[in-house]
Amino acid sequence: MNSVESFRYLQREVTEWRRYLHENPELDYRLQNTARFVTDKLGSFGINHIETGIAETGIVALIHGKGGMGSTIGLRADMDALPIIEASNKSWSSRIPGHMHACGHDGHTAMLLGAAKYLAATRNFRGSVALIFQPAEEVELPSGALRMVQEGIMDRFNISRVFGMHIQPGLEVGKFGICHGPIMGSQDDFDIVIKGKGGHAAEPHQGIDPVVIAAQIILGLQTLVSRRTDPLESLVISVTKLNAAQAYNIIPGQVEISGTVRTLSSGLQDFAEREILAGAQGIARAFGADVDFKYLRSVPATFNHPEETNLAVTAARNLVGSASVNESVRISMGAEDFAYMLEARSGAYILLGNGPTANCHNPAFDFNDDALPYGIGYWANLVETVLAV
Ligand code: NI
């Protein structure tokens, strides 16, 4: 079990990789250059079991320990960038206008490569490590983690546990945050079309005004949170889009409402899906209108399993000391598609301090290279903890 000093020898090289990836961001599943870069590096470490082309540009590589037979654990890094115009003013800023690594996935990829180099050289563990390089974390369904699971990586590579990590702006470099149970929220989206009867704005009694009905529904939805949900549970319903008529003097025939739902449990996802429809229908019918309803389940909540969370805490503590590992970090209602891997296998997701930088998805964001040896060291310690010789 090693402190962070044991991994500093990798910092310069991994920083070069990270900045190369930052300069060359690619989006969603179209990560041809990134995947080639990762595959070349893995090959240069003497790793010969590399499978490419999973979920288009995803990669799984296996490193076998020298400590004999044992299980296989998965370590996952996401590789995709975002459609954002970069404003970080770094000399390694994006060379591709409108593409940017604004969520640290360049760092995630570089850190897992750094860990791969260390693990392939040392192999001080039993069993095997599956390095999972994932495309398309940032896209709507089906996202990269889901597709890699659907393409059978957990069974095919015999993965018994799976671990993820994400950079966290605002958390000091060298610190880790994790919690037991849910750590990130689910994400579902919905569309409601209210079908009334349009007409002249001066004669509302001749029609059925869907704008007034929409107003009632929007307010009604908030009572699902405030009056129908256990106050100790978390549910967010945000109406984010509203489409009606284009003129002062027309009552539209229909109004479209769209929004998003965030929770920490699948039970509340079921509740929201059922009750948003029931509420919208009930209100619309009271006014003589009807609704069309679509509910799209995007990402489940990211759920940290008890035993694996303890293993993650142990690995991080051995790297940086107990005082630098917060075991009850605040839950985020943002969504993370690693949740699909945690539905398929037990595991844990940890946050790594990026220091006082701009937030993720902000044009000024940049991954903090000082965090690299901490991420590499966490992966290495985790492997040597979970698969201890
Ligand atoms: Ni991200």
CA of 108 to the centre of ligand 1 (A): 9
CA of 222 to the centre of ligand 1 (A): 29
CA of 125 to the centre of ligand 1 (A): 29
* Amino acid symbol at 119: L
Tell me the DSSP string of 182-240: EEE--EEEEEEEEE-B-EETT-GGGSB-HHHHHHHHHHHHHHHHHTTS-TTS-EEEEEE
Helix (H, G, I), strand (E, B) or coil at 160: strand
Nearest to 182 by CA among 299, 272, 80, 72: 299
> Which phi-psi region, left, alpha or beta, contains residue 385 (left: φ > 0; alpha: ψ -120 to 50)?
alpha
On the question of a cis peptide bond just before residue 363, with omega within 30 degrees of 0, the verdict is no
Helix (H, G, I), strand (E, B) or coil at 34: helix
CA of 366 to the centre of ligand 1 (A): 12
CA of 63 to the centre of ligand 1 (A): 25
Helices 105-122 and 372-386: crossing angle in degrees, nearest 10, is: 50
CA of 269 to the centre of ligand 1 (A): 22
CA of 248 to the centre of ligand 1 (A): 43
Q: Report the distance separating Cα 331 and Cα 180, nearest Å.
A: 10
Please check whether the two domains, 4-184+301-386 and 187-297, share a CATH topology: no
CA of 254 to the centre of ligand 1 (A): 37
CA of 13 to the centre of ligand 1 (A): 23
CA of 105 to the centre of ligand 1 (A): 6
Instruction: Give the CA radius of gyration of the chain.
Output: 24
pLDDT of residue 141: 78
CA of 117 to the centre of ligand 1 (A): 23
The β-bridge partners of 205 are none
Class of domain 187-297: alpha beta
CA of 384 to the centre of ligand 1 (A): 26
CA of 76 to the centre of ligand 1 (A): 12
CA of 195 to the centre of ligand 1 (A): 38
Nearest to 381 by CA among 33, 54, 51, 73: 73
User: For the chain, what are the domain ranges?
Assistant: 4-184+301-386, 187-297
The β-bridge partners of 251 are 199
Q: Please say whether the beta carbons of 108 and 166 come within 8 A.
A: yes
Nearest to 209 by CA among 244, 243, 251: 251
CA of 32 to the centre of ligand 1 (A): 19
Tens digit of pLDDT per residue, the chain (389 long)? 789 999 999 999 999 999 999 999 999 999 999 999 999 999 999 998 999 999 999 999 999 999 989 999 999 999 999 999 999 999 999 999 999 999 999 999 999 999 999 999 999 999 999 999 999 999 987 999 999 999 999 999 999 999 999 999 999 999 999 999 999 999 999 999 999 999 999 999 999 999 999 999 999 999 999 999 999 999 999 999 999 978 999 999 999 999 999 999 999 999 999 999 999 999 999 999 999 999 999 899 999 999 999 999 999 999 999 999 999 999 998 899 999 999 999 999 999 999 999 999 999 999 999 999 999 999 999 999 999 99
Nearest to 245 by CA among 291, 196, 304: 196
Nearest to 367 by CA among 164, 168, 183: 168
CA of 78 to the centre of ligand 1 (A): 7
Nearest to 102 by CA among 352, 347, 358: 358
Q: Please say whether the beta carbons of 253 and 210 come within 8 A.
A: yes
CA of 104 to the centre of ligand 1 (A): 6
pLDDT of residue 140: 80
Q: Report the distance separating Cα 107 and Cα 129, nearest Å.
A: 20
How far from 224 is each of 31, 152, 194, 279, 387, CA to CA, in Å?
41, 38, 19, 9, 46
CA of 292 to the centre of ligand 1 (A): 33
CA of 342 to the centre of ligand 1 (A): 16
263 alpha carbon, distance to own chain's centre: 14
CA of 166 to the centre of ligand 1 (A): 7
CATH number of the structural domain 4-184+301-386: 3.40.630.10
pLDDT of residue 246: 83
- Exposed/middle/buried for residue 241 (C-beta within 10 Å: 0-12, 13-18, 19+): exposed
CA of 359 to the centre of ligand 1 (A): 11
